Structure 1
Amino acid sequence: MNAAQKVLVTGAAGFVGSAVAARLAAMGHAVVGCDNFNDYYDPRLKTGRVQTLLAPAGVACHNVELADGVQVQALFEREQPALVVHLAAQAGVRYSLDNPAAYVQSNLVAFGHMLEACRHHKVQHLLYASSSSVYGANASLPFSEDDRCDGPVSMYAATKKANELMAHSYSHLFGLPATGLRFFTVYGPWGRPDMAYFSFAEKMMRGEAIPVFAEGKLSRDFTYIDDIVEGVVRLLHKPQPAGEGAVPHAVFNIGNHQPVRVLEFIQTLEKVLGVEAKMNFQPMQPGDVPATYAAIDKLRGWVGFAPTTTLETGLSRFRDWYLPWRAQRDAAAPTTAG
């Protein structure tokens, strides 16, 4: 890949997007970002990522609504990207039960606009975020890219599976090289506060009880942000080749291949924070699955990489970011007289 080729990263003010954009810039690539800066979670995290991760790396992050086709067309005409890493999406399984319309707009309409823009602007490779959620309640572990994924258990999962089908059709019809990335429970510094590790840390520091579903027996393949980024940048350089009857589309799991039970996860978080957790046990929630577990043979075989960061190491790095960030946030919070 030529460093002079411009890379567009969508969702660049988001958790994964900001880390990917900063890494690509550090590697010498010309990078431009966009985000719609919505308020799904504390917008100070998005502005903080822009100021701390993107601006020092020289990455501009434009305010663009990808569900608006006119804005997408203008973005592509102005920036002329050669490669696109599409990480913008409405995230979260539980929120999709309350506001499915947000997922239709951000994950289906916006993705359709991105595919059209990539097609007409002859983008050399489109990487896009899928999710381990596409596997649904698959009982076969670990989850393999060859498994059937036509039984989503949430609207979020359904939109991510739809993205894979939409991208495959564009690869088939128009020869657009596209790669779907099935991320497994990403965590780390600058993360999303709706994710369990972040929300648990917040409650534990306040002395509040954390909700523990299904008696803590659920297991997740927690994957540290740096491992996710490494997989993304390696795959960006290596699209699926088109050939005789071959569609230039592929999907890859990017997961740690080390599922951890939620109770064990909480114990590790207690250890790194030095705080004992109060637990409120609750039944399993709609849209949840018992376990996620990534098979990573395909990723390792294609780009020679597999995640390696242990949970304790990753959570310790999260703590080192989180505690100063929390102190700064709380110090800046307005006080009320009483």
Structure 2
Amino acid sequence: LPTLNRGNAQLQFLFVNGRPVKDRMLTGVVRAAYQDFLARDRHPMVALFVDLDPEGVDVNVHPAKTEVRFRDAGGVRGLMVSALRHALAAAGHRASTTVAGYTLGKVRAEPAPQAGFLWQAPQTGGYVQRPAMPPQSYAPRHVEEDAPEETYTPRGYVPEAAAPEAAPMARVEAGPMPVPGALAEYPLGAARAQVHETYIIAQTADGIVIVDQHAAHERLVYEAMKRQMAEGGVRRQALLIPDIVELSEDEADRVTARAEELAALGLEIEPFGPGAVAVRATPALFGEMDAAGLIRDLADDFAEYEAGLTLSERFEEVMGNMACRSSIRAGRRLTGEEMNALLRQMEATPHSGQCNHGRPTYVELKLADIERLFGRRG
């Protein structure tokens, strides 16, 4: 799974006809298959076994036979990239279960702090123990909403609201809890709370799921952009008043030089004098968004591209950056309906178990694991 990744390729094990090898083409195959799921500086943990006709591979390239040469390198590469992508697609919305295991391993039960006590001699003689201060209440706090929240829509971004400083948790009061049989129909469960306006807590039939709302929505937006690109281009929405973005002349030239390619991604721009760009349309699935911030990010990205490199060669990367900027931000409070809509979309979207950078979008804790944390199980 893409969530199993590292900062180097040391945990990539490659075998050809049962023999461990080091091969640049195979390493490139792995990178090509995972380019849709990981940042460029991350490397998946992989054990790859390739079996083929011995006549199709030359093992005498290196004295130690650790390097190979394929007679039909192009055919082998295409077949392997396709096979790896098929395996990744079969994972659906799953994330690595080792994430939850690592989390549980870091949790250590700590003794509850003892309340301070004062010793006071009563008139009847002897001593009694009296708390120095009244015990603190640990009842769950219910946060009152100052205004009704906007409804989350699967189409795209809803502007984030400033999170109140004194409200670290917003509870969900969305009706009665579904019966266990109904919960079984939803792998990611039913939303029960939002913590720190960043994480969604959902109850499943046999545990809980903790969702990173920004990472999850980023993946959903990215996959929606991919679908629309496959259908001929990302649909756009025209702005009533063009958004004028001030840039340096070099930055403006870099962005406007790729205007035609950006139009395929739903972003319609044109020059607006020296050092400025007019944004006339944005991707419809983003809804309301920070177009100026997106243009500045794209200008920075384009500065790193090699001369002559077409945007189509980096569409996945550009779409990932656009999806990241347009996604629900940490710090935005969601309603129960919005959270449940996000969970249902994740269940229906491939690869929603990890964001575009390979990080998990959710962690699942089974009830048995939680009971062990509290000493209810051995």
- Report the TM range for the smaller structure's normalisation: under 0.3
- Structure holding more strand per residue: 2
- Structure holding more helix per residue: 1
